Amino acid sequence: MHWFSLEYIAMNLGFLLILIGLWGIITRKNILRIIISFSLFDTGTHIVIVAIGYIRNRTAPILDTLALQKDTASKIVDPLPQALVLTAIVIGLGVTALLLVYAMKLFETKKTLDIHRFNDLKW
Amino acid sequence: MLRNSLFLIVLAAFAVIAFTLVNAWHPAESLSPVAEHYATNGPTEVGAANLVTAVVVTYRGFDTLGEVTILFVTAAIIGFFLSLFHSESPEQTDRLMPASEILSTASKLLIPFMLVLGIYVFVNGHLTPGGGFQGGAIIASAFVLLLLADPLSKLNHRIIAMVESVSGVAFVLIGLLGIFLAGGFLDNRILDLGTFGALLSAGVIPLLYIFIGLKVGSELTNIIGHLQQTQKNR
């Protein structure tokens, strides 16, 4: 039954998103769809990392009530993975923006987004 | 056919790896030692009610500096990349369709509120969920709405670049001040920690998050502005 508790659901969904993203990256032909698959992959890793820090029956690491401020360590989930994911989201945003601009440039040179048409480096 | 089966083998291998990982994983019962240190000593050492902010800005502030730098480099590369191929060509603006009445009216109404919400989110980053990156993203989305409603409006890149560089330099300077006035680089105890949970508390964290918010907002706006300028030439 433990497969239906929240942390397992989040973990499985994260890995499912990673697999869908990987499938998209290796099978799709349109560059924009590859970039969307990359975003899915990225989001999947974020969900997995946040799920690692989750602890059952605990609350968010924001100490806004007096009850939370004493004996904090036994009442909150791990703040470290959340901070790391915050960093990862911003880096993912930067990488996605670069990918999109690069796709725009590729379209301008060949007027197509089909990945099989870009075979200049293939031998 | 061979190609498809190769894809299938790769995906199946990854699925097996993922399944083994999840199967062997046990949810944590208690905090890791590092997180326990943050939870027990964070309120007295850093003074931020939002522990994630304490980790992001103070305990791992150096990471955040690197992250802001990566975002800056991304914006710079995109600006360089787009301006390299789009040197001042005559603009063909007559083919653009004007935005609908609803969009242009709603943008005039909403943009001030979006800017205020963004500022609220990064000023309160040490007390409530949110912070510099989230607030900066909200501010940038206000400018996206502005460009959607009026695609011909020009963003002033000089002001954006000014805000960006001033806040970046201020971020590093506050970090360096920490070496001389407090325990080390990006230490937040330059100012008094104040009462826990008040708006003016947690040392320089609110100040740092204001600069991060301005920097992220101006960088994202810069990227969008560059993309919009290339669209005009079509």
The structure tokens listed for A19 are 């697999």
pLDDT reported for residue B117: 92
**Are B233 and B86 a contacting pair, CB within 8 Å?**
yes
- The dihedral through the CA atoms of B75, B81, B84, B87 has a sign that is negative
Q: Which residue of chain B has the CA closest to A14?
A: B18
Residue B123 lies in a domain: yes
Domain count, chain B: 1
Beta bridge partners of A114: A30
User: Three-state DSSP class for A30?
Assistant: strand
Residue B16 lies in a domain: no
Residue B15 lies in a domain: no
pLDDT reported for residue B94: 54
Report the distance separating Cα B224 and Cα B227, nearest Å. 5
pLDDT in tens, A36-76: 999 999 999 999 999 888 888 888 888 777 777 777 777 88
pLDDT reported for residue A33: 92
Report the distance separating Cα A81 and Cα A68, nearest Å. 20
Report the distance separating Cα B14 and Cα B40, nearest Å. 39
Mean pLDDT of chain A: 86
B22–A15 CB contact, under 8 Å: yes
Beta bridge partners of B50: A62
Nearest to A64 among B29, B49, B55 (CB): B49
Q: Which residue of chain B has the CA closest to A10?
A: B22
Q: Which residue of chain A has the CA closest to B73?
A: A94
Q: Which residues contact B135 (CB under 8 A, 6 or more apart)?
A: B118, B119, B120, B121, B122, B123, B125, B209, B213, B216, B217
Could you tell me how many CB contacts below 8 A there are between chain A and chain B?
133
Residue A7, H or E segment: helix A6-27
B21–A15 CB contact, under 8 Å: yes
Cβ neighbours of A52 in B, within 8 Å: 25, 28
Residue B8 lies in a domain: no
Residue B11 lies in a domain: no
A80–B82 CB contact, under 8 Å: no
Per-residue pLDDT of chain B (234 residues; tens, 9 = 90+): 788 888 889 889 988 998 888 888 888 778 888 888 888 877 777 777 788 888 888 888 888 888 888 988 998 888 888 877 665 554 555 566 777 888 888 888 999 999 999 999 888 888 888 888 889 889 999 988 888 887 777 777 788 888 888 988 888 888 888 888 777 777 777 777 777 777 777 778 888 888 888 888 898 888 888 877 776 554
Residue B24 lies in a domain: no
Report the distance separating Cα A89 and Cα A46, nearest Å. 8
**Residue A97 in contact with partner chain B when CB distance is under 8 A:** yes
Torsion angle in degrees (nearest 10) through CA of B34, B38, B41, B44:
160
Report the distance separating Cα B39 and Cα B107, nearest Å. 42
ipTM greater than 0.85: no
Q: Say what the pTM is.
A: 0.83
Q: Which residue of chain A has the CA closest to B216?
A: A90
Task: State the smallest CA–CA distance between residue B101 and chain A in angstroms.
Answer: 30
Q: Which residues contact A12 (CB under 8 A, 6 or more apart)?
A: A3, B22
Residue B219 lies in a domain: yes
Cβ neighbours of B10 in A, within 8 Å: 22, 26
Cβ neighbours of A14 in B, within 8 Å: none
Residue B76 domain boundaries: 32-232
Mean pLDDT, residues A89-102 taken together: 90
Helix axes of A31-52 and A79-110: crossing angle, nearest 10 degrees: 180
Q: Suggest the residue from B8, B25, B31 to mutate for an interface test with chain A (most A CBs closer than 10 A).
A: B31
The structure tokens listed for A52 are 């690692």
Residue B26 lies in a domain: no
B40–A72 CB contact, under 8 Å: yes
Give the domains, in start order, of chain A with CATH numbers: 2-117 (1.10.287.3510)
Report the distance separating Cα B28 and Cα B161, nearest Å. 45
Q: Which residues contact B124 (CB under 8 A, 6 or more apart)?
A: B130, B199
- What DSSP state is assigned to residue B126? T
Q: Which position has the token pair 């890791």?
A: B32
Q: Let me know the angle formed at the C-alpha of B217 by B223 and A96, rounded to the nearest 5 degrees.
A: 45
